[in-house]
Amino acid sequence: MADVLVVAEAADGKLKKTTHSAVTFARQAAAALGGTYAILVIGDSLGEAAAEAATLGAEKVLVAEAGALKDYVAERYVPTVAAAAKGAKIVVGTASAYGKDLLPRVAARLSAGFASDISELLAEGSSLKYKRPMYAGNAYGVCTVATPVHVVSVRQSAFAAAEPAGAKSPIEQVAVVPPSAAAERVEFVSFDQVKSERPELAEAKVVVSGGRALKERFNEVLDPLADVLGAAVGASRAACDAGYAASDLQVGQTGKVVAPSLYVAVGISGAIQHLAGMKGSKVIVAINKDADAPIFQVADYGLVTDLFTAVPELVKQIQAARS
């Protein structure tokens, strides 16, 4: 059995990009332990997801596939994940909504310690420690796990997406373990997903976010800029609380953590709670009429001006440059 087991995240039969960050961690951990890593893909209709996982350099790809797993319910997934983890020293996934829901239950099933939302692996020989942000990213703690098995969730923005490794890994089917009698009582009712033609916020390469200053013109101002950049749209908590943007667009400590190649903050002051969700972005552009706004302290490029004038002009200039 591999030393590290990556619990992949799949949706609509495809591997989600969040999994690639967990694989990067697995490569680091396996190297420190002098061992290998495997990837578990669990769900239904997983042919495409398994094929992509097989390109990521794992010792093998384990596929637990059943119609009963089509609709995600943590209680039904945990027994199979725990069985696949037999012999592994570390079980890892990404700290997405999926990972935050599933992995603590896996840890409980394995009687294992859990290191959540880590940003760095610290290896001293085969001894592993985990660094994680605290207080909205203003401080970091280092934790150790005393149990024989470690369960870890990694912050996607802190680990680069793993690239294909060349040779394809063998794919092995594993048995789906039936849930307990208590878990059988948990029923999947529905999944209300917000459909959008834009990239998914947590996985987008470009994100355009707006703050409360946009008021009722939030979409009127931001949508053209997002369209011309092929970007996902995000928002500050203040904009969401005011009803100018949907809650699922919130970026920050209590929202989604993003780390795109380009992050454009429009009318966002830059409270520490918001910075905690986006300061890992590669390039940050801020547009705000307040020259003293905290967002400028982390921005690579800043424009101090009226956003209602600047953003439409920026759209025009980008369109002109591309034509």
Give the residue ranges of the annotated binding site: 212, 236-237, 250-254, 267-274, 288
Q: Compute the distance between CA of residue 37 and CA of residue 305 in angstroms, rounded to an integer.
A: 51
Q: Compute the distance between CA of residue 183 and CA of residue 189 in angstroms, rounded to an integer.
A: 14
**What are the binding residues for FAD?**
212, 236-237, 250-254, 267-274, 288
Q: Compute the distance between CA of residue 211 and CA of residue 240 in angstroms, rounded to an integer.
A: 8
Q: Compute the distance between CA of residue 318 and CA of residue 323 in angstroms, rounded to an integer.
A: 9
Q: Between the CA atoms of 91, 96, 98 and 99, what dihedral angle is there, to the nearest 10 degrees?
A: 20
Query: What residues have CB less than 8 Å from 197, skipping those under 6 apart?
Result: none
Q: Give exposure, 244-263, as e/b (b: 16+ Cβ within 10 Å).
A: bbeeebbbbbebbbbbbebb
Inter-residue contact 130 to 146 (CB < 8 Å): no
The first and second tokens of residue 264, run together, are 């454009």
Give the residue carrying structure tokens 């999944």.
Answer: 191
